[in-house]
Structure 1
């Protein structure tokens, strides 16, 4: 199991670009899981059941872990098994039906990687879905403000170097990196972009009528996908922006 954890952490670092602090939190949580599974004699992903995950969470609860920490721990396990499913290393996600005790709290200012993964895992079977995927990936990858993303022009995007130049508050320009997955999503959107916009249109994201996309449309589309993906809470651009690592 250790090799799967190592490869998953590598995926989070290279593909999702998570910060060293966040990666360390994932490593700590998943290594605790490895210790528990090792004591149970489990060394393969397919041997892990929801009973094992539930028992592990209960054990950590008895050891005094807070509800918030338990939620984070469970999120890390779900994320790893979701990755294993995509890579063909596992046949099911044993953490999906497990729920951790909740701590009273307000709506979080950020989303964990498990929730982000659930939101971004949308079917890109229509041009609009391809556009929306690119929007959400760019929010998460680069932390752009809503207004910056809505007014983004193709001349500001350099996918070769993986950078986007944006003009923010105070009319100040800054360069922000674009992650590999976000860059791929933008390339896919570029392929179908001409179906909506005339060639002289400079804006990256446009409506079905070919006009620059409105901020309220972006907000509505993110809410649409959050509901479509069965998200348990309200999702809006500000959350995506502040969830990028």
Structure 2
């Protein structure tokens, strides 16, 4: 085996050992696959440049990212994602005694401002959720289910997949709490409101009309667990029925939940917990959405803002 082949073998073995560690730590399969792609791309670049993994320096990482921008048209977001994976891998190599360059662990790229998500007003939400019951029996069945899904998406800020995977034993009716498993297999408990409680109870009486052999809360018309795509389509259809022009999707209802709750409470930490964000900076995007409200509070409260 020549030197290049030996280097390739060693690099691949380090990568697979690290991915095994991530799997044991119960990272999601999607996360592991993304990390695999990002780190493998960097290691392939090092191999082409004949850079031994133990000799990688900060300048090599900078050149790699420049190469990706120039040759692959990477966005700032793509660079941030890849850099996060590479830093974690290099940190693991350092823990294994393979590499020792603390500069790489501290290297960061300035983030571009996040685009603010589109938003519906509370009046728009009311327009969506308080639609009249349809006249036909089939549409009444669909509306009972769709209304329960919409109420829960907005009431508790669920991710789409968290809604789809919700099971009957995840609902604590007396406390009005639900248990969901989010990103990284992290479980959290979230309250749901009175309107969602009513809609869920009505839907479950309708759900009993179809024989099912599973415990998922939301089902399709054939009795099977509803899919992500079906929920997306139904949310769009109900938005059109309500006369809303917004391109409504489940994640937008999660944004509305966060923004409206933050505007009313001002408790960023509580909103972070309910959304299941591990990083507070992820939640802070919603503070920008309430600029008008914050400006009003400032004008009313700050001693240097009051007019004499």
* TMscore range, shorter length: 0.5 to 0.7
Q: Find the residue that maps to 1:166 and give its secondary structure.
A: strand
Cα distance in 1 between the residues matched to 2:119 and 2:174:
29
Deviation at 1:228? 1.0
Contact 1:132–1:221 (CA under 8 A) maintained in structure 2: yes
Is 1:117 matched with 2:117? no
Cα distance in 2 between the residues matched to 1:151 and 1:196:
19
Deviation at 1:192? 0.6
Alignment gaps of 5+ in structure 2: 1-114, 135-139, 262-308
Is 1:168 matched with 2:179? no
Which of 124, 130, 142 in structure 2 is aligned with 1:128? Answer: 142
Cα distance in 1 between the residues matched to 2:235 and 2:131:
11
Deviation at 1:123? 2.5
Which of 113, 126, 142 in structure 1 is aligned with 2:156? Answer: 142
Which of 217, 220, 241 in structure 2 is aligned with 1:207? Answer: 220
Which of 190, 195, 206 in structure 1 is aligned with 2:204? Answer: 190
Deviation at 1:197? 3.9
Higher share in helix: 2
Structure number with greater Rg is 2
Length, aligned pairs only:
139
Structure with larger RCO (C-alpha < 8 A, sep 6+): 1
Deviation at 1:196? 2.8
Deviation at 1:107? 8.2
Deviation at 1:242? 1.3
Distance 1:119 1:181, change over 3 A: same
Distance 1:208 1:119, change over 3 A: same
Tell me the TM-score normalised to structure 2 length.
Answer: 0.44
Deviation at 1:124? 3.1
Q: Find the residue that maps to 1:241 and give its secondary structure.
A: helix
Alignment gaps of 5+ in structure 1: 1-105
Output the aligned Cα RMSD.
Answer: 1.5
Cα distance in 1 between the residues matched to 2:244 and 2:224:
29
